[in-house]
């Protein structure tokens, strides 16, 4: 990991660059595949599944027999762990329910807001080197709580033409209605346009590589909403001289092993801690099964010395990390001061992996600095807020003149007339 000492503020943007390609680098490929899927549907899906996943599938849809087979091949121990995580995630997301908001804004004018589920949603679950069955829980559970009618899941098949048993087990446990063996850009395109077998949805959720991220952004051009531009994973840790170097190193490596384009950063006011963490990272890296992936990610990562907490906080907010761990004595300073982060983890015994799996918070979070404007996935992500109003005769008399004056000032005579015709009858 690169060690950087007291960087100038003018250098922060360069230092904090993510190791990702620009949209321009990959957009052409995404557009090409989108156009083919839009034109040729399942035929294009079949073509790209063979090209990218190396398998020629007769059917994309997962059958009940395949789900039954998967359930039988997940150990009871893991099933119990998944159920325990499911319960915590349910508890946290159930608590996010809100009641109807109703108010009389003026005498005789009643306005209220209610939330309704998005009817059709698509979940993208990465497969690849680490099938993320935990992401099924994070997306399908709040979708089910929200009351979404159709929950369609896409995940890439392995070389045997199957989806990981753990993904299928979690999907059936959490109420997914349809599952398809399709990944990458073509999965997002199929959910965007629909094919003869894969339904079109109203909103797409789920993380993925840079190609999936750009594909989701392109989907919005065709009237499909997305949760956020969630790309390669990232973590920033802030720590002082009292922090445990081995714990910090383990947290950094836990994100580094996600993928070669992941990024992890340590910000510290202690030279000694930075040295210790650097040594611990090298030591712990050697025994990781995914060493090659983590090693590449670590090469993109930084250990940054900043001379005081105030400057550290400014740098952290400039970066806007997906995951933010606070391991300092004055943790309240960072808790109260952080403005841009997807999810925050506080103290020596709150590893980021707790949020990834079982504490209850959602792990689908904004990356690449999008935490400055986006929230992580939550119950409201699967709901729409609808407003209602009912105005009595008295109410229209109370606000009618206001409406007439404003409409006339904007030159919208028909708007004014819609009120005037009613007021005339009420005289």
Residues that are catalytic? 322-323
Residues 300 and 290: their CA atoms lie apart, in Å, by: 16
* Best CA proximity match to 388, nearest among 128, 113, 165: 113
* Best CA proximity match to 270, nearest among 300, 250, 244: 244
Query: Strand pairing partners for 205?
Result: 123
> Cα-flanking dihedrals φ and ψ of residue 411, to 5°?
75, 20
Burial class (CB within 10 angstroms; exposed 0-12, middle 13-18, buried 19+) of 258: buried
Torsion, CA 138, CA 139, CA 140, CA 145, rounded to 10: 90
Kindly report the length of the chain. Answer: 427
Which helix (H) or strand (E) element contains residue 353? helix 352-357
Burial class (CB within 10 angstroms; exposed 0-12, middle 13-18, buried 19+) of 351: middle
Q: Within 10 A of 142 (CB to CB), how many other CB atoms are there?
A: 27
Kindly provide the residue ranges of all beta strands, DSSP E only, lying in 118-260, ordered along the sequence: 120-124, 150-155, 178-181, 203-205, 225-226, 234-239
Q: Which residue has the tokens 């004056």?
A: 405
> Cα-flanking dihedrals φ and ψ of residue 206, to 5°?
125, 150
Structure-token pair, residue 21? 């390609």
Residues 268 and 245: their CA atoms lie apart, in Å, by: 11
């Amino acid at each position: 990991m690169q060690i950087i000492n007291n960087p100038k503020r003018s250098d922060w943007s360069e230092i904090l660059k993510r190791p990702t390609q620009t949209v321009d680098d990959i957009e052409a490929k995404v557009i090409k595949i989108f156009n083919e899927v839009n034109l040729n549907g399942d035929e294009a899906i079949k073509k790209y599944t063979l090209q990218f996943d190396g398998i020629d599938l007769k059917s994309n849809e997962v059958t009940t027999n395949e789900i039954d087979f998967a359930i039988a091949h997940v150990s009871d121990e893991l099933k119990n762990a998944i159920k325990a995580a499911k319960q915590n995630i349910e508890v946290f997301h159930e608590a996010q329910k809100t009641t109807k908001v109703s108010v009389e804004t003026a005498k005789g004018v009643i306005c209220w807001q209610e939330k309704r589920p998005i009817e059709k949603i698509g979940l993208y679950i990465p497969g690849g080197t680490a099938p993320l069955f935990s992401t099924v829980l994070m997306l399908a559970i709040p979708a089910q709580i929200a009351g979404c009618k159709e929950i369609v899941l896409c995940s890439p098949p392995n070389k045997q033409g199957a989806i990981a048993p753990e993904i299928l087990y979690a999907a059936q446990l959490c109420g997914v209605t349809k599952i398809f063996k399709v990944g990458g850009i073509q999965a997002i395109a199929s959910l965007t346009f629909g094919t003869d077998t894969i339904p079109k949805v109203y909103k797409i959720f789920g993380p993925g590589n840079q190609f999936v991220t750009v594909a989701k952004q392109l989907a919005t051009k065709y009237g499909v909403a997305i949760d956020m531009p969630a790309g390669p994973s990232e973590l920033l840790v802030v720590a002082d001289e009292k922090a445990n170097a081995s714990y910090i190193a383990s947290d950094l490596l836990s994100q580094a092993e996600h993928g070669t384009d992941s990024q992890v950063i340590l910000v510290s006011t202690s030279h000694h801690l930075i040295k210790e963490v650097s040594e611990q990272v090298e030591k712990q890296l050697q025994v990781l099964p995914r060493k090659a992936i983590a090693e590449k990610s670590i090469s993109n990562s930084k250990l940054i010395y900043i001379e005081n907490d105030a400057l550290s906080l400014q740098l952290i907010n400039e970066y806007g990390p997906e995951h933010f761990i606070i391991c300092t004595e004055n943790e309240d300073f960072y808790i109260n001061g952080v403005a841009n982060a997807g999810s925050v983890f506080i103290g020596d015994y709150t590893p980021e992996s707790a949020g990834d799996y079982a504490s209850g918070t959602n792990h689908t979070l904004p990356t690449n600095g999008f935490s400055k404007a986006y929230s992580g996935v939550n119950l409201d992500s699967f709901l729409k807020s609808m407003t209602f109003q009912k105005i009595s005769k008295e109410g229209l008399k109370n606000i009618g003149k206001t409406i007439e004056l404003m409409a006339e000032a904007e030159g919208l005579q028909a708007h004014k007339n819609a009120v005037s015709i009613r007021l005339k009858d009420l005289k």
